[in-house]
Chains A and B, each alone.
Chain A
Amino acid sequence: MPPLSIVIWLPALAGLLGALAPGSRERNTSSGAIALAGALATFGLSIWLIAGYDPHTSLSDVTDTVWIGALGIHYKLGVDGLNVFLVALTTLLFAATMLASNIRLAREGIARARSYFFFLALGESAVLGAFLAQDLALFVAFFDLMLIPFYFLIGMFGTRQRVRATLKLVIYTLVGSLLMLAGAVATGVLASQQHGTPITFALSSLEHLRLARGSQEWIFLFFAAAFLVKMPLFPLQGWMPDGYRAMPTEVVMVFSGVLSKVGAYGFLAIVLPLFPQAAVHFQMLMLLLALISILYGSALAFTQTDARLIAGYSSVAQMGFITLGIFALDPQGAQGALLGMINHGLVVAPIFFIIALLARRAGGSEDIRDMGGIAFRAPVLATLFLVVALATLAMPGSANFVGELLILLGAFKAKLPIAIIAFAGVVMAAVYALRLFITAMHNRVGEKVSSFELSRAEGSVLAPLVAVILFFAFYPQLALSRSEGSVDAALAPARAALREPSAPPPVAATPQAPASSGGQEAQGAEEAAEGSGAR
Chain B
Amino acid sequence: MSATTFGWLALLFPLAGCLTTALLFRRLPGRSAGVIATAAIFLAFLASIGALVAILGRSGSQRELVSSLWNYAVTAGVNVRMSILIDPLSIFMMLVVSGVSTLIHLYSIPYMDSDRGFARYFSYLNFFVFSMLLLVAAGNFILLIVGWAFVGAASYFLISFWYRRRTATQAGIKAFVINVFGDVGLVLGTFFIFRHTGTMELLGSFHVAPHVFAKGSADVTAGCILLLIGAFAKSAQIPLHTWLPDAMEGPTPVSALIHAATMVTAGVYLIARMHTLFELAPAAQDVGAIVGALTLFVAGTIGLVQTDIKRVIAYSTMSQIGYMIMGVSVGAYAAGLFHLMTHAFFKALLFMAAGSIIGAMAGEQSLEKMGGFRRALPFTYGCFLIGGLALSGVPPFSGFFSKDEILLVTAERGDWHWALYVIGYIGALLTALYTFRMIFRAFHGKPVAEARELESGHLHHADVPRNPATGEQEDTDVGFPGPAHAIAERSGAMRVAMGLLALGAIGAGLLQIPRTDFVIDDFLAPSFAGSKLYTIHEHTSTLAAGLVIGTLLSLSGIALAYYIWVRRPTLPAIARERAGALYTLLHRKWYFDEAIEALIVRPAAIAGSFARQSFERVVIEGAIVGGAQTLAGASSALVRALQSGLLRAYATMLALGAAAVTLYFLLRA
B579 at the interface (CB under 8 A from A): no
Q: Which residues of A contact B650 (CB under 8 A)?
A: 147-148, 151, 170, 174
Given contacts A167-B639, A235-B620, A390-B153, contact A427 B145 (CB under 8 A): no
Q: Which residues of B contact A241 (CB under 8 A)?
A: 616, 621
Q: Which of A381-439 contact B (CB under 8 A)?
A: 383, 390, 393, 395-397, 401-402, 405-406, 408-409, 412-413, 419-420, 423, 426-428, 430-431, 434-435, 438
Q: How far is the CA of A46 from the CA of B663 in the complex (A)?
A: 40
Given contacts A168-B629, A442-B163, contact A300 B180 (CB under 8 A): no
Beta-carbon contact of B184 and A239 below 8 Å: no
A163 at the interface (CB under 8 A from B): yes
Interface string of A433-476 (1 = CB under 8 A from B): 01100100111110000000000000000000000000000011
Given contacts A168-B625, A171-B629, contact A409 B191 (CB under 8 A): yes
Beta-carbon contact of A181 and B661 below 8 Å: yes
Beta-carbon contact of B611 and A303 below 8 Å: yes
Choice from A375, A430, A435, A475 contacting B180 with Cβ under 8 Å: A430
Q: Which residues of A contact B163 (CB under 8 A)?
A: 375, 438, 441-443
Given contacts A174-B653, A379-B25, A427-B184, contact A185 B662 (CB under 8 A): yes
Q: Which residues of B contact A444 (CB under 8 A)?
A: 164, 166, 475
Q: By CB atoms of chain B within 10 A, which of A236, A420, A476, A477 has the most? A: A477
Q: How far is the CA of A479 from the CA of B77 in the complex (A)?
A: 16
Closest 3 CB pairs of A and B: A396-B149, A303-B608, A442-B163
B548 at the interface (CB under 8 A from A): no
Q: How far is the CA of A435 from the CA of B180 in the complex (A)?
A: 14
Given contacts A303-B608, A396-B150, contact A423 B629 (CB under 8 A): no
Q: Which residues of A contact B638 (CB under 8 A)?
A: 167
Report the nearest A residue to B191, measured CB to CB.
A412
B647 at the interface (CB under 8 A from A): yes
Distance of B102 from chain A, by nearest CB (Å):
24
B181 at the interface (CB under 8 A from A): yes
Given contacts A396-B148, A431-B177, contact A477 B164 (CB under 8 A): no
Beta-carbon contact of B629 and A186 below 8 Å: no
Q: Please report A residues at the B interface, Cβ cutoff 8 Å.
A: 144, 147-148, 151-152, 155-156, 163, 166-168, 170-172, 174-175, 177-178, 181-182, 185-186, 189, 193, 235-239, 241, 296, 299-300, 302-304, 331-332, 335, 373, 375-376, 379, 383, 390, 393, 395-397, 401-402, 405-406, 408-409, 412-413, 419-420, 423, 426-428, 430-431, 434-435, 438, 441-445, 475-477, 480-481, 484, 487-488
Can you give 20 A-B contacts (C-beta < 8 A)? A167-B632, A167-B638, A167-B642, A170-B650, A171-B625, A177-B654, A181-B654, A238-B621, A238-B624, A299-B607, A299-B608, A300-B608, A331-B77, A376-B477, A376-B479, A396-B149, A409-B78, A412-B191, A434-B173, A480-B75
Q: How many A-B contacts at CB < 8 Å in the complex?
A: 205
Interface string of B66-83 (1 = CB under 8 A from A): 000011111111101000
Beta-carbon contact of A332 and B180 below 8 Å: no
Choice from B166, B181, B620, B658 contacting A237 with Cβ under 8 Å: B620
Distance of B186 from chain A, by nearest CB (Å):
9
Q: How far is the CA of A408 from the CA of B142 in the complex (A)?
A: 14
B22 at the interface (CB under 8 A from A): yes
Beta-carbon contact of B78 and A181 below 8 Å: no
Q: Please report B residues at the A interface, Cβ cutoff 8 Å.
A: 22, 25, 70-78, 80, 120, 142, 145-146, 148-150, 153, 156, 160, 163-164, 166, 169, 172-173, 176-177, 180-181, 183-184, 187-188, 191, 194-195, 475, 477-479, 604-605, 607-609, 611-612, 616, 619-621, 624-625, 628-629, 632-633, 638-639, 642-643, 646-647, 650, 653-654, 657-658, 661-662, 665, 669
Q: Which residues of A contact B188 (CB under 8 A)?
A: 412, 420, 423
Q: Which residues of B contact A480 (CB under 8 A)?
A: 73-75
Report the nearest B residue to A242, measured CB to CB.
B621
Q: Which residues of A contact B77 (CB under 8 A)?
A: 331-332
Beta-carbon contact of A438 and B142 below 8 Å: no
Choice from B166, B479, B658 contacting A181 with Cβ under 8 Å: B658
Beta-carbon contact of A155 and B646 below 8 Å: yes
Given contacts A304-B612, A431-B177, contact A181 B657 (CB under 8 A): yes
Q: How far is the CA of A431 from the CA of B22 in the complex (A)?
A: 26
Given contacts A148-B647, A238-B625, A408-B191, contact A302 B608 (CB under 8 A): yes
Q: How far is the CA of A477 from the CA of B94 in the complex (A)?
A: 28
Report the nearest A residue to B71, measured CB to CB.
A477
Report the nearest A residue to B478, measured CB to CB.
A376
Beta-carbon contact of B643 and A427 below 8 Å: no
Q: Which residues of A contact B173 (CB under 8 A)?
A: 431, 434-435, 438
Beta-carbon contact of A186 and B73 below 8 Å: no
Q: Which residues of B contact A488 (CB under 8 A)?
A: 76
Choice from A300, A379, A426 contacting B612 with Cβ under 8 Å: A300
Q: Which residues of A contact B624 (CB under 8 A)?
A: 235-236, 238
Distance of B33 from chain A, by nearest CB (Å):
14
Q: By CB atoms of chain A within 10 A, which of B160, B191, B607 has the most? A: B191
Q: How far is the CA of A184 from the CA of B397 in the complex (A)?
A: 79
Beta-carbon contact of A405 and B665 below 8 Å: no
Q: Which residues of A contact B72 (CB under 8 A)?
A: 402, 475-477
Report the nearest B residue to A413, measured CB to CB.
B195
Q: Which residues of B contact A167 (CB under 8 A)?
A: 629, 632-633, 638-639, 642
Give 12 A-B pairs besides A167-B632, A331-B77, A423-B187 with Cβ atoms closer than 8 angstroms. Answer: A163-B639, A166-B642, A174-B653, A175-B628, A178-B654, A182-B657, A332-B76, A335-B75, A376-B479, A412-B191, A434-B177, A477-B71
Q: Which residues of B contact A189 (CB under 8 A)?
A: 665, 669
Q: Which residues of B contact A332 (CB under 8 A)?
A: 75-78
Q: How far is the CA of A177 from the CA of B188 in the complex (A)?
A: 39
Beta-carbon contact of B191 and A443 below 8 Å: no
Beta-carbon contact of B73 and A238 below 8 Å: no
Q: How far is the CA of A60 from the CA of B665 in the complex (A)?
A: 34
Q: Which residues of A contact B176 (CB under 8 A)?
A: 430, 434
Beta-carbon contact of A443 and B625 below 8 Å: no
Q: Which residues of B contact A166 (CB under 8 A)?
A: 642, 646
Q: How far is the CA of A373 from the CA of B72 in the complex (A)?
A: 37
Beta-carbon contact of B73 and A402 below 8 Å: yes
Q: Which residues of A contact B477 (CB under 8 A)?
A: 376
Q: How far is the CA of A420 from the CA of B633 in the complex (A)?
A: 43
Q: Which residues of B contact A396 (CB under 8 A)?
A: 142, 145-146, 148-150, 183
Distance of A216 from chain B, by nearest CB (Å):
16
Beta-carbon contact of A331 and B612 below 8 Å: no
Distance of A274 from chain B, by nearest CB (Å):
17
Beta-carbon contact of B639 and A442 below 8 Å: no
Q: Which residues of B contact A168 (CB under 8 A)?
A: 625, 629
Q: Which residues of A contact B621 (CB under 8 A)?
A: 238, 241
Choice from A236, A302, A477 contacting B74 with Cβ under 8 Å: A477
Report the nearest B residue to A305, measured CB to CB.
B612
Q: Which residues of B contact A375 (CB under 8 A)?
A: 163, 478-479
Beta-carbon contact of B74 and A481 below 8 Å: yes
Beta-carbon contact of B22 and A185 below 8 Å: no
